[in-house]
Amino acid sequence: MIFDTHAHYDADAFDADRDEVMETLQKNRICAVNVGADIQGARDSVSLASRYPFLFAAAGIHPDDVGVLEHEAPLSGDEPVFDELIRLLKAPRTVAVGEIGLDYHWMVEEKAVQKKWFAAQLRLSVEMDLPINVHCREAVQDTLDIVRAEHGGRTGGIIHAFSGSVEIAREYVKMGYYLGIGGVVTFKNGRVLREVVREIPIEHLVTETDSPYLSPVPYRGKRNWSGNIPLVIDEIARVREMDRQEAEEILWENALKAYRIRERGLAVPYAG
C-alpha cells in the first residue's frame, strides 16, 4: 500500500480531471494528505478530505503567503485568516499544520516576516497537538534553529522535500521528525538525498510527491501524482539494499505514525 504524505490535489493542474484522478487513487489503494499552502488551499484540502476517505488534510500558510497574516486581512467575509486557519485545523480529518516554513529562494516575504509566522504556526501546532509539515528552501540552518526552539519535536511531523545534509537530517531525527522523500531521490543531481536515504534509519523516512510538482524519473517535467510513488520506493529500496516490499510496508506505517492517524482514531482505508 502507498501513502503520499504531501500532495496538492487542489492545484489548478488537476482542475480538468480531479475526479478521475481521485478514482484512480482509490483503485490503486493509495492514501494521501492534501496539504494546504495558503488559506484557500487549506479550505480546499479540508473539503477534499471530507469527500474522499483515502484523503486527509493539512492546513497552514506557506512562507510565500504569510503576508496575509502579517496584515491581518480577511480574504473573504469577516473572519481573520489566522482564526480561519485555527477553525480548519479543528476539522476531523485535518492531521497536520502545514505547509509552513521558510523560503529564501523566492523571497516573496522578507526573512523577518517569514520567521515570525513560521514560529507562530509552530506554536499553534503545539497548542492544538497536531504534527507539522515543514517547507524549507535555501534556509536549512534557520529552519532547523526555529524548529528546535519553537517546537522541538513536541508533536512530531515531517520535514517536507528534505534537502539538507546527512548531518542536518540527524538533527531532525534526534527530535523525532520524519524526512519527506520524493522524486528528487531519482534525479541525477539527487546524490546528497540518496546519501541521506542510505544513512538515516528507514523508520524516519516517509514518501511524498508534492504533486503536481517534482515528478520522479522518467516522468520528470510532467505532472506528478501519487501513483508515481512506487518509483520513489524502488529507489529507496535500491539505495538501502533492502527488499522492496519490506520498504513499502515500513514507509506506509511511518506515514500513519508521522500523522498519528491511528492514534487519533481515524479510519485507515485499505488496512487489514
Q: State the CATH number of the domain containing residue 236.
A: 3.20.20.140
Provide the grid cell at 148. 528546535
- Cell readout for 175 is 527530535
CA-angle at 45, arms to 43 and 50, nearest 5°? 100
Give residue 271's pLDDT. 73
Within a domain: residue 67? Answer: no
Full domain range(s) for residue 228:
2-27+126-258
Find the distance separating the first CA and the last CA of the chain, reported in whole Å.
11
Q: Is 14 within a domain?
A: yes
Q: Model-level pTM?
A: 0.96
Asked, for residue 219, whether it belongs to a domain, the answer is yes
For position 164, what pLDDT does the model report? Answer: 97
- 8 Å CB contact between 152 and 175: yes
**Per-residue confidence (pLDDT) for residue 183, from 0 to 100:** 98
**Residue 211 CA to chain centroid, in angstroms?**
11
Asked whether residue 50 is domain-assigned, the answer is: no
CA distances from 158 to 4, 18, 51, 234, 246 (A): 12, 26, 24, 21, 21
Distance CA 256, CA 271 (A): 11
Distances in Å between the alpha carbon of 17 and those of 11, 21, 22, 45, 219?
Answer: 11, 6, 9, 17, 19
pLDDT at 75: 42
Residue 59, SS3 per DSSP:
strand
192 lies in some domain: yes
66 within some domain: no
Angle at 45 between CA 41 and CA 48, to 5 degrees: 135
Q: Is residue 97 part of a domain?
A: no
What is the per-residue burial (b if ≥16 Cβ within 10 Å, else e) of 218-228? eeeeeebbbbb
Backbone angles phi, psi at 135, to 5 degrees: -95, 135
Q: What is the pLDDT of residue 217?
A: 98
Beta strands in 17-164 (DSSP E): 30-36, 55-59, 94-103, 132-137, 157-159
Question: Per-residue pLDDT tens for 185-205?
Answer: 999 999 999 999 999 999 999
In a domain, 68, yes or no: no
Domains identified in the chain, total number: 1
Q: Mutual orientation of helices 244-258 and 229-240 as an angle, nearest 10°?
A: 110
In tens digits, what is the pLDDT along the chain, a chain of 272 residues? 999 999 999 999 999 999 999 999 999 999 999 999 999 999 999 999 999 999 999 999 999 999 999 886 544 445 789 999 999 999 999 999 999 999 999 999 999 999 999 999 999 999 999 999 999 999 999 999 999 999 999 999 999 999 999 999 999 999 999 999 999 999 999 999 999 999 999 999 999 999 999 999 999 999 999 999 999 999 999 999 999 999 999 999 999 999 999 999 999 888 75
Residue closest to 123 by CA, chosen among 155, 157, 169, 171: 155
